[in-house]
Amino acid sequence: MWKDRTEILIGKNGAKALEKARVAVIGIGGVGGYVCHLLARAGVGQLSLVDFDVVDETNINRQVVADINTIGRIKVDVMKEQIEQINPKCNVKTYNERFCGEFVHKFFQTRYDYVVDAIDSVQDKIELICYCKEHDIKIVSAMGAGNRIGVPNFKIVDIYKTANDGLAKVLRKKLKERNVKHLAVAIAEELPIKTDKKTSAVGSISYYPAACGCTLSAYVINEILK
């Protein structure tokens, strides 16, 4: 059986807990795509995927949904196909929509054991985080994975104990204004590199978003197994 090696570590009861778990992944890009793969390979039984975007050629260097054959396709559709090839029994729901204030109530008609925030937009992240906190839904958020090239050293900490991350700095201020007192985040200790100011694009390399996705997945799996 394909789950045998996992069950050696977590036992049949652990495997059943993952099979029963409902996890939402918001943002199926460089970070979120790896989260989906790793949760599916661990045996998570129900995954809800949210992303409004399509695969672009510039995604190929870091996103598991991206290759020369998927350019132009809807990201959540590609990811669903990939998950079905990994874990055919996984119940995958897809939402080809932007996560925003108008979408939030529609989406959370289902109760989730965990939500993984891999959104790029600050405003959309805040809408998601605040809704989860207000409704006692467990959530973990990705911080910056761009403009870094060293050996990744991600860890899970509280948002208010973060440093050297521009996204975290903005979020700390805005979440404090919204009276959010705690938030688990995956953050790298490496300082971002200063890149060419002629472009607004963020530099990226294959393994850094993947490492962030690994950290988020490990955290969620271990939380479910508790």
The answer to whether the beta carbons of residues 62 and 30 sit under 8 Å apart is yes
What pLDDT was estimated at residue 189? 87
What pLDDT was estimated at residue 40? 98
Every domain of the chain and the residues it spans: 4-225
Whole-number CA gyration radius for the chain: 17
What pLDDT was estimated at residue 198? 74
Helices (H), the chain: 4-20, 30-42, 75-86, 101-107, 122-134, 166-177, 207-225
What pLDDT was estimated at residue 100? 85
> pLDDT (tens digit, 9 = 90+) per residue, 46-104?
999 999 999 999 999 999 999 999 999 999 999 999 999 999 999 999 999 999 878 99
- Where does the pLDDT of residue 123 fall: very low under 50, low under 70, confident under 90, or very high at 90 and above? very high
> pLDDT (tens digit, 9 = 90+) per residue, 154-205?
999 999 999 889 999 999 999 999 999 999 999 998 988 888 767 778 899 9
Instruction: Give, for 113, the enclosing helix (H) or strand (E).
Output: none
In whole angstroms, what is the distance from residue 165 CA to residue 154 CA? 12
Return the residue matching tokens 């080809």.
Answer: 96
In whole angstroms, what is the distance from residue 194 CA to residue 215 CA? 25
The answer to whether the beta carbons of residues 223 and 114 sit under 8 Å apart is yes
What pLDDT was estimated at residue 105? 86
What pLDDT was estimated at residue 194? 85
Q: What is the mean pLDDT of the chain?
A: 95
10 Å Cβ neighbour count for 129? 24
In whole angstroms, what is the distance from residue 167 CA to residue 203 CA? 15
In the chain, the percentage of residues whose pLDDT exceeds 90 is 89
Q: Which fold has domain 4-225?
A: Rossmann fold (3.40.50)
